[in-house]
Amino acid sequence: MYRAKDLGKNRYEFYSAWMNGHSARSLALESGLRRAIERNELALHYQAKVDSHNGRIAGMEALVRWRHPELGLVPPDQFIPLAEETGLIVPLSRWVLNEACRQHAEWVNAGFPPVRIAVNLSARQFVEDGLCEEVFATLALHGLDARLLELEITESMVMANTERTFEALARLRSSGIRIAIDDFGVGYSSLSQLKQFPVDVIKIDRSFIRDIPGDPSDAAITDAIIAMSKRLKVITVAEGVETPHQWHFLREHGCDEIQGYYFCKPLEAQAFLAYALKNMEETAPA
C-alpha cells in the first residue's frame, strides 16, 4: 500500500499528474524509482531459451524486477515506460547490463555452459553517447566473451533506423555480440528494413504464439516468419510458449529456439542455476 505522504509533498504535482492521466501509483513509483537503484531494490530474473529439437538450454534472457519496499515485486511493464519518460532508463539499463554480465561471468567461471545471455535495450540508450563503449567496458570488467552477450531491441528501434542506431548496432555486432529483434511482428518494421539491418535473431511475438496451432491465421503468420528468417539466415525464437502443442508446432515448422513458461518461467538467480543444472543433466547426450 502507498500512503499520501509517499506521493510527494507537492499536491500540485499530484493533481497535474492525475489530470495527465497518471495514477497515484505511477507517481509513487516514479519518486521511488529514483532511489531504487541506490537502495539496491532492483533484481534480475532469468528465463531460459531452449533448443526446440531437444529442450536443451540454448540461452537465457535477463528480465528486470523491482522489489518495492511497499508494493512488493513490481513487473517491468509498470516502471520501464516511466523510466523511459523520466530518463531514469539510462542508469537503470546500466545497472541491468552490469548485473547480467556479472552474474553470467560468475556462472561461467563456476562451470556453467557458455550460453548467451540476452539483455533488453531501450531506444533511449541509442540517443545517449557511448553505448558501445559502455557495453565493451562492461564485458571487459567481468571478463565475459562478447559472443555470450545478446542485445534485444524492438521493431520501433529498427524503424527509427537512424544512422546512429544502425552504426551502433553494426559496431556491437562486429565485436561478436548478437542482436535480436524482440516482439517481432507487432511493430511496423518493413521487410526491406529488416534486410538491411544488422540482426542475428528474430523473436516472434507472443501474440502470434498464443493461439497456435488452432488459429489458422496465427499459424500461417508464424510459419511465414520462420520461413523468411531461414532465408535471411536469422535465428528464430518463439516467445510465450506455454503448451506442448505450441512447442511441437514450432519445432515442426523449423523454429530454432523456444522461450516460455512451458519450459522455464523467469526465475531468481539461485533457482535459475538449479533449473539449468537439471536441464543439462536431463538433456545430456548419451
Select the span of 133-141, 167-175, 253-261, 269-277 touching ligand C2E (CB under 6 A): 253-261
Closest distance of CB 3 from Mg ion, Å: 32
Place of cell 538491411: 196
Contact 50, 58 (CB under 8 A): yes
Q: Determine the 3-state secondary structure of 166 from DSSP.
A: helix
Q: Cell for 189? A: 518494421
Using CB under 6 A as the binding rule, whether residue 185 contacts ligand C2E is answered as no
Using CB under 6 A as the binding rule, whether residue 189 contacts ligand C2E is answered as no
Contact 148, 115 (CB under 8 A): yes
Place of cell 531494490: 41
The torsion angle over the Cα atoms of residues 220, 240, 185 and 246, rounded to 10 degrees, is -10
Q: How far apart are CA 79 and CA 68, in angstroms?
A: 11
> Binding to Mg ion (CB under 5 A): which residues in 102-131?
120
Using CB under 6 A as the binding rule, whether residue 51 contacts ligand C2E is answered as no
Using CB under 6 A as the binding rule, whether residue 122 contacts ligand C2E is answered as yes
> Binding to Mg ion (CB under 5 A): which residues in 220-249?
239
Using CB under 6 A as the binding rule, whether residue 42 contacts ligand C2E is answered as no
Interface with Mg ion (CB under 5 A), residue from 30, 182, 218, 257: 182
User: Which residues bind to ligand C2E, rule: CB under 6 A?
Assistant: 47, 63-64, 75-77, 80, 93, 96, 120, 122, 152, 182-183, 239-242, 259-261, 266
